[in-house]
Every structure is written in C-alpha cells, then in structure tokens.
Amino acid sequence: MIHINHVTLLESFRRFQVGTSETYDTEESLIENLTGAFKGNDLTNIGSAGHYLVEIGEQGNFVSDEVIFSKFGVKMTPEQKQLFFDHAQQMKPFVPEVWHKKIFNTSRGEVLVSGTCDVLQGTVVRDTKCKFRSPSMMDYFDSYQWRFYLSMFGLDRFMYDVFEFSGNNFRDVTLFELKQREPFECLRYPKMETDLVKLIDEFLDWVEYRNLGCYLKTKPCLPRKSEIKSINQ
C-alpha cells in the first residue's frame, strides 16, 4: 500500500501546483520535503518553538530559556512565551500532538495518509501557525491541511490559531512584536472527500512522473542522485 506519511506533504504539493506567491513553494522544496532532505531553517525553528510552548502550556514556566534555545536555537522574551502559555490555558482541556491515519480509495487503489495535528480540543481540530507578515485568511481557507485532518478525524470544525511576529531579524525574535490574531474557522463541506482524493491522485501522478515513488515505499530502490538533480536543471 502507498503511504503518504504526512498531510503537509500533500499541502506542499498543492501550493506548488497552484503557484502560490510564496518563494519556498517550489518543486525543489517539495522534493526536499518528500525525500527528507529539508532539515528546517530559522523560520521553521521559530514555528516549532511556538508549537512546543503551546504543547507544554503552563509547565513552560519551569522550562529555562537555555532548554528552548538548545531545542530550537530560538530566544523569546517572557512576554512572548506568556502569550503561547495563555493560549494553551484558554484551550483547556485539549490533547496536543495527536497522530492519526486514514485509507483513501483512489484511482491507484488504497492510499494511507497519516499526520499529526497540533491540538485536538474535543470535537475541534486546531493548528498553531507562526507568521512573519500579516496573515491572509484566504491562504488558510485554500489550504488542504484542514480538509485532510477533518476527514482523518471524522470531525467538522478546524481552527487556525495564528501568531504574528513583526520584525526582520530571524536570529533574535526578542526584537519582534508578537500578536495573536483571532482564530480562523474552517468547516467540512459536502464535496470535501472528492477534493481530497483528486489531490492525492494528482500528487501520485507527479511522483510517478518524477520517478520518486520509492520515497512512498512503492519501489525497492532509490532513484539515482543524477535523476534528482536533473529535475531542477
């Protein structure tokens, strides 16, 4: 069975496919995500730190700045950290980092899609986003991340919790102003499952075209390095 081991891979494909304005939504970055070559950067490390602070909640008061820096290479002010802690407190009770999976029936047969949502709050799936510019709610609405999680968990409501950093020095976010935006809600709709299967089919067509199926555990061997390099030439 084909296994797509994270929902974000399918969303990365969609963003590349539609040609979003983000500079990192390229075929090269998509391949790095698929092959595991992408190891993170300053922006993703800041986002990971934010997710971690929400996950540990008020227990974060007992976690030193040195621990957070050693994990993510990020420094935050007490006020910035408190904003994440307060958010976690307001959401209680919730379960952080919940892994789930679902089998989708596609034109290529059964495909297993799995992923980990940031927060499961009763019957609501929530995702923490750290942005570095004024967020576009349409970007979140267009995303397939929330659609897959609602399908996988069998739920109807998804909330994006957006934290906006304002600054231009990603090595020291203590210089940034941090604001929490109003949560953005996305709801299940009648043809959602059909849309999800269509995206999976299109993703698998691209994977086959680029000879990268081995990274989905569908072939016994890896493509040669020269084949991967030629994709971007």
Domain spans of the chain?
2-218
pLDDT > 90: what percent of the chain?
57
Q: Cβ contacts of residue 186 below 8 Å, gap of 6+?
A: 140, 141, 146, 147, 150, 157, 158, 159, 160
Band (pLDDT 50/70/90 cuts) for residue 72 is confident
Using one digit for the tens of pLDDT, what is the confidence trace for 138-170?
A: 888 999 999 999 999 999 999 999 999 887 666
CATH no. of 2-218 = 3.90.320
Q: Which two tokens stand for residue 102?
A: 């679902």
Query: Which tops the pLDDT comparison, 154 or 132?
Result: 154
In this prediction the pTM is 0.87
Using one digit for the tens of pLDDT, what is the confidence trace for 212-221?
A: 988 886 544 3
What does the pLDDT average to over 97-117?
Answer: 95
The pLDDT assigned to 171 comes to 63
- Residue-averaged pLDDT of the chain: 86
What does the pLDDT average to over 105-133?
Answer: 94
Q: How many CB atoms lie within 10 A of CB 98?
A: 15
What does the pLDDT average to over 2-26?
Answer: 86
